[in-house]
Amino acid sequence: MSDLRELYQQVILDHNRKPRNFGDLDGANRFAHGDNPLCGDKIQVLLKVDGDNIVQDVKFKGSGCAISTASASLMTEAIKGKTVVAALGLFDLFHEMVTSDLPEHELDPSLGKLGVFYGVREFPVRVKCASLSWHTVHAALTDSDAVVSTEA
């Protein structure tokens, strides 16, 4: 188990150092801002959703702690190419993973690499950091040009 924790740490550090899908997105048609005042994390999610409701591309901008940046990076990788319905389904699974007491071996396999955030449930303040990008993308996909705050 400690080897697994070590691996999780490595994935989070790697995505914080080299965030994937970071920057501007030409032709984006869904946006949302997210704010986690408790930690100071700020994020903007930009998406290009096509006529078939498939997330063709997704990028994020902003600044925050290692957990929020790594989570945003992994979130963009996870939802790119998925349908909006599938992306919202992943939001639900992620939210359940970090807020419930579901045992690790019962995690939905479709979470894949997102399972690295399983351990944040032990740190309530960090749950907000890890969830920020997911709440933000959820807002962007359900109500374009939305603003979310973890304080809400």
Summarize as ranges the residues that interact with Zn ion (CB under 5 A).
39, 41, 65, 68, 129
Residue 55 or 118 having the CB closest to Zn ion: 118
CB of 129 to Zn ion, least distance (A): 3
Nearer to Zn ion, 21 or 69 (CB): 69
Taking the least distance from each CB to Zn ion, the nearer of 44 and 56 is 44
CB 106 to Zn ion: min, Å: 27
Minimal CA–CA distance to 133: which of 81, 90, 102, 101? Answer: 90
62: phi then psi, degrees, rounded to nearest 5: 125, -170
Residue 141: CB minimum distance to Zn ion, A: 22
Distance CA 68, CA 34 (A): 11
Asked if 19 and 62 count as a contact pair (C-beta separation under 8 A), the reply is no
